[in-house]
A and B are shown apart, each in its own frame.
Chain A
């Protein structure tokens, strides 16, 4: 008995250590009062701005503090890449700053979230901020549902960049002013210079996807985005498409060509872009100085362009709104606006500032000022991203499906109009109450629990039966107590991990399952009572969603090809780099691991070059072997395969290291005895290495499958899912739905369907490799 107790205590030790850990960790966790977020100073202000603006705005803040003694401004930079997510979580979490910079296309979303303070009453009292002091198009980006919720900070607009010398060569002394001139100039510019029957000078670069460039054509013709069936819209689209049909702009290659290179060589003598390009072209192509210019966009009824830029907003949760407003007023003062232009080179939003000689006399920026007089922005609706996506998908299909008859355009446009109507109508309806859904949720939970209890009970009987049969123990009488004690120490070993996983993984996953049964969208984020329980309707919708099926197929194809490919390469490299006679092992291992740690931005640049249809290495090799060339990333048939190759390259080092670790557990003696028996290298690999790696192989195959099924980074960086959704993966689609369109319910149901698919996959793999999963 004493002995049992002793061994019991012995088994207890890990548990005691765990208790010890728990007892000291909370004190470490909560020792620091970490929420110093809201400064105690009543005159302290938190201001967020993005990227470099966020770093430089402190100069303005110091100036404001000098003018207003006692005020303290804390500025903070938010990276552009994830500013949207950061702002969203801070608003949902109730911890927004006082003032923030806000992208013009985000205004409606956050206004719907009820994040902003309405500013009418402030504007009425203000001497500095009045509507007529700002450009109209820019001011309108701040009006959401007739309420003014922000103030323009700086603007940007799109103009025509053109090569003066090449246009002159083609017989045009000035930049085109009308649609007819624009078309004529493009026709005159397009040429096959070296006579190889391939165009090496196009008229202009136009994107296949990109509403920022396309919509101005619609506006110039007096059209309306919401009514694509109107003749003005149709005419504008046909005009835009004719550039592709007549080969005045290359199909899809626009995305692949580096704009600087193309502008220098004259591949693109014209393109449409924003003010940031002025500085960049000067820096990148100093040899072109004087040979290029900018011009107001050519037009039809008007010469309208797109207006973007950034606004300043005051948050509703701010405790210092008066002071916040004062800071916004300060930033809107003409002298401060000019100063900001000096620092950041961005274009002032205040008209008065443009009368400063710095801008008035600048040969290029002056044109931007002129263009600003006639600008428009997309309608301020939270569904805008979704509408824009629908619009781009439809127009892309029409542009790339080159054999379009007149009837087809009209058909496509009327289905586009219907889709837009559906998106717009969805926002208004809201069903049911949260209570009903809660009841359902609780019931589901009980159901799951009941199932588990049943499962466990069954398992309990079964496992005891199996264990006692499988493993005959010496002390059969003590089996049960031993089992319990052994179980107990097992539970102690897994307790820390399981606790953390339950808190930070299981509970959130259950919560997201609940979300997948609701119609939670952006309106639901703002007002939780509007969230309706819709049962399995999201799932039904998923199965009717053509893009879902497309993305599912892509994902499965990617996994089916990518996994064996990557695993084979990594196994090969691992086996070779494990050989004793290989010199410089550390060096090679590190070098082969380098793709894993290389920044995705650099990786993307190099792979874009490899795949570039004109100057790329791959096409160069194909050409020199007189094989047909490909339009790798821009062709729906090759885009996915191109991404697989890139992903395999990026990830094989990861698996290689795991295999290397696995190889170390194969006893050297096995190799020695096999060698003595006369086995060659291949036989050694087949009969010693592979069986020895079995359990690690199971790991690598399962993890790669899961990784590839959750394929996201490569299409996100390289193609954004295009062309024609040929590289859209499920996770990318989910990300778009959840974080771009705020369809949280729908995104969650997508996640659960992916979960189901992966589960089935893993289950099959486990069955196939059952041996690797068992303990002995």
Chain B
């Protein structure tokens, strides 16, 4: 009997702990989503009151005028399509190439492996801005300006991604790979059938980041895409803001439209950030 009450007491304490934890999570939530809420609500505000302090969290007279203007001024479907083609292809290439290279750097032995890897890491540290003009001239030589490939190719693999995948794969026990090797698996099959399924969480993460980076990229698509019909969505929407007088409602409506696909991808992809069944049964 005494035993039973102590279990009950334990459970109550746990429940209280859980309650406080959830409360803390909700408070943190207010902090993180405030600018986002403001962004969405401003996109429904007509004219005045945008700059009032403290910020107005909800519009007095919600309006769709900014969204209407947005879809009138911008050929939405065209730019959306451009963005989608570029981002999805870039993400696909990144997932494939980075996981290939990451696997090699984490689990294969080859001459000069660590030196090559150090070299890659070193270039990660050069600020991206300085390579802009040389890459632009190079793409011109290749005849890739104004084409999707001009955007996709330079971004199709990232040292960030290789490094991320490598670090994750290093936590996978070698026994698995050795076992597969003894069974006569080729290296590619080990990579494809044994390792990749275990890497869903990190691939989902890399996918989110790559998609987001490619989707939000602004300067590079603007420079590479000579013709307006090839602009990606963020570039096309950036045209809506003026030099001095920015229509904030319109700007925010544009931002909401750009952000939504990323959030959808995030919600979709983060479902794969769960413990893989295979790893649970493994022992180090």
Interface Cβ pair total, 8 Å cutoff: 383
CA distance A95 to B21 in the complex (A): 58
Q: CB distance B263 to A79 under 8 Å?
A: no
The residue that A260 contacts in the complex, of B51, B120, B154, B160, with Cβ under 8 A, is B51
Q: Of A111-119, A603-611, A636-644, which stretch is located at the interface?
A: A603-611
CB pair A665 B242 closer than 8 Å: no
Docked CA distance A50–B98 (Å): 38
Q: Which residues of B contact A527 (CB under 8 A)?
A: none
Given contacts A82-B222, A500-B157, whether A591 and B29 have CB atoms under 8 Å apart is yes
For residues 13 through 60 of chain B, which have their beta carbon under 8 Å from a beta carbon of chain A?
18, 21-22, 25, 28-29, 31-36, 38-39, 42, 47-55
Q: Contact at A508–B134, with CB atoms within 8 Å?
A: yes
A512 touches B130 (CB 8 A): yes
- Does A10 sit at the interface, judged by CB under 8 A? yes
A504 interface residue per 8 A CB criterion = yes
Residues of chain B within 8 A of A653, CB atoms compared: 32
Task: Report Cα–Cα, A501/B252, bound state, in Å.
Answer: 36
CB atoms of B25 and A576 under 8 A apart: yes
Provide the residues of chain B in CB contact with A85, threshold 8 Å: 132, 219, 222-223
Residues of A within 8 A of B267 (CB): 586, 590
Q: Report B89 CB to chain A, min CB distance, Å.
A: 10
Shortest A226–chain B CB gap in Å is 27
Establish whether residues A601 and B251, one from each chain, have CB atoms under 8 Å apart when the complex forms: yes
The 8 closest A-B pairs by CB, nearest first: A490-B110, A79-B238, A493-B104, A487-B110, A508-B134, A508-B131, A615-B53, A758-B125
Chain A min CB distance to B177 (Å)? 12
Chain A residues within an 8 Å CB radius of B271: 586
Is residue A528 within 8 Å, beta carbon to beta carbon, of the partner chain? no
Q: Are B145 and A667 in contact (CB under 8 A)?
A: no
Which of A80, A459, A486, A504 has the most B CB atoms < 10 Å from its CB? A504
Q: Report whether B160 and A748 are in contact in the complex, using a CB–CB cutoff of 8 Å.
A: no
Does A657 lie within 8 Å of B273, measured CB to CB? yes
Q: Are A586 and B270 within 8 A (Cβ)?
A: yes
CA distance A90 to B34 in the complex (A): 40
Across-interface contacts of B106 in A (CB, < 8 A) = 775
Q: CB within 8 A of B167: which of A103, A490, A668, A699?
A: A699
Contact with B188, one of A17, A285, A605 (Cβ below 8 angstroms):
A17
> Bound state CA distance, A54 and B241, in angstroms?
11
Contact of B129 (CB < 8 Å), options: A283, A616, A657, A735: A735
Asked whether, in the complex, the Cβ of A37 is within 8 Å of the Cβ of B146, the reply is yes
Q: Which residues of B contact A698 (CB under 8 A)?
A: 167
Given the known inter-chain contacts A283-B48, A755-B126, please indicate yes or no for A615 contacting B239, CB distance below 8 A: no
A184 contacts partner chain B, Cβ-Cβ < 8 Å: no
B80 touches A (CB below 8 Å):
no
- Decide if B108 touches A489 in the complex (CB within 8 Å): yes
| A81-B238 contact given A37-B227, A706-B124, CB 8 Å threshold | yes
- Say if the beta carbon of A62 comes within 8 Å of chain B: no
Partner of A500, one of B97, B112, B283, B284: B97
Question: Are B270 and A710 touching (Cβ within 8 A)?
Answer: no
Q: Does B68 interact with chain A (Cβ within 8 Å)?
A: no
Any chain B CB within 8 A of the CB of A284?
A: yes
In A486-506, the 8 Å CB interface with B consists of 486-491, 493-494, 496-498, 500-501, 503-506
B:97-148 near A, CB below 8 Å: 97-98, 100-101, 103-113, 115-116, 120-127, 129-138, 140, 143-147
Roughly how many angstroms separate A343 CA and B223 CA in the complex, as a whole number?
Answer: 28
Complexed CA–CA distance, A588 and B273 (Å): 14
- Of listed B52, B130, B281, B282, residue having the most chain A CB within 10 A: B130
Chain B, Cβ-Cβ closest to A751: B130
Q: Are B205 and A661 in contact (CB under 8 A)?
A: yes
Interface check B180, CB cutoff 8 A: no
Instruction: Assess the B51–A258 pair: CB atoms within 8 A.
Output: yes
A776 at the interface (CB under 8 A from B): yes
B: number of interface residues (CB 8 Å): 131
Q: Tell me the bound Cα distance from A657 to B201 in angstroms.
A: 9
Of the candidates B121, B162, B239, B280, the one having the most CB atoms from chain A within 10 angstroms of its own CB is B239
Asked if B239 and A592 sit within 8 Å, CB to CB, the answer is: no
Least CB separation from A703: chain B residue? B160
Q: Which chain A residue lies CB-closest to B186?
A: A10
CA gap between A29 and B156 in the complex, in Å: 14
Residue numbers in A under 8 Å from B186 (CB-CB) = 10-11, 13
Question: Digit string of B237-274 for contact with A (CB within 8 Å is 1, else 0)?
Answer: 01111111100000110010011001100110011011
User: 4 more A-B contacts (CB under 8 A) besides A54-B239, A506-B123, A512-B134?
Assistant: A50-B243, A79-B222, A588-B29, A605-B35
- Decide yes or no: A509 and B123 within 8 Å by CB, A493-B104, A601-B255, A738-B130 being known contacts: yes
A761 to B202, CA, bound (A): 26
Q: Is the CB of A77 within 8 A of B239?
A: yes
A92 on the B face (CB < 8 A)? yes
B284 — which chain A residues lie within 8 A by C-beta?
Answer: 667
| B172 interfacial contact with A, CB 8 Å | yes
Give every chain B residue within 8 A of A279 (Cβ-Cβ): 245
Q: Which residue of A lies closest to B129 (CB)?
A: A735
Judge whether A493 and B39 touch: CB under 8 Å. Answer: no
Chain B's nearest CB lies how many Å from the CB of A679? 16
Chain B residues with Cβ below 8 Å from A409 are none
23 intermolecular pairs with C-beta atoms under 8 Å apart: A10-B187, A30-B143, A51-B242, A82-B218, A92-B136, A95-B226, A283-B47, A467-B109, A487-B111, A489-B108, A490-B108, A493-B100, A494-B104, A494-B116, A508-B138, A582-B25, A588-B25, A660-B201, A664-B201, A664-B279, A669-B283, A734-B129, A758-B125
Minimum Cβ distance to chain A for residue B242 (Å): 5
Give the shortest distance, in Å, between A104 (CB) and chain B (any CB).
11
Measured CB to CB, the closest approach of chain B to A468, in angstroms, equals 12
* Chain A neighbourhood of B235, CB < 8 A: 79
Q: Decide yes or no whether A121 CB sits under 8 A from chain B.
A: no
Q: With A494-B100, A507-B134, A667-B282 in contact, is A500–B153 under 8 Å at CB?
A: yes
A36 beta carbon closer than 8 Å to chain B = yes
Q: Is the CB of A665 within 8 A of B201?
A: yes
Q: Are B97 and A662 in contact (CB under 8 A)?
A: no
Query: Which one, B107, B171, B188, B270, contacts A13 given CB within 8 A?
Result: B188
CB–CB B109/A490 < 8 A:
yes
Q: Given A52-B240, A665-B201 in contact, is the A508-B280 Cβ separation under 8 Å?
A: no
User: With a CB–CB cut-off of 8 A, which chain B residues contact A277?
Assistant: 245
In the bound assembly, the distance between CA atoms of A607 and B204 in angstroms comes to 31
B168 CB-CB contact with A under 8 Å? yes
Does B170 reach chain A (CB closer than 8 Å)?
yes
Smallest beta-carbon distance B144→chain A, Å: 7
**Chain A: minimal CB distance from B169 (Å):** 9
Asked if A93 lies at the interface with its beta carbon under 8 angstroms from chain B, I say: yes
- B92 close to A (CB within 8 Å): no
Closest to B238 in A: A79
A594 touches B32 (CB 8 A): yes
A593 adjacent to B130 (CB under 8 Å): no
Cβ proximity bits A26-58 to B, threshold 8 Å, 1 near / 0 not: 001110101111000000000000111011000
Contact across chains for A52 and B270 when beta carbons are under 8 A apart: no
Interface residues of B in 200-233 (CB under 8 A from A): 201-202, 204-205, 208-209, 212, 218-219, 222-223, 226-228
- Closest approach, in angstroms, between the C-beta of B163 and any C-beta of chain A? 6
How far does the alpha carbon of A657 sit from the alpha carbon of B272 in the complex, in Å?
A: 11
Q: Are A276 and B111 in contact (CB under 8 A)?
A: no
Q: How far is the CA of A18 from the CA of B113 in the complex (A)?
A: 19
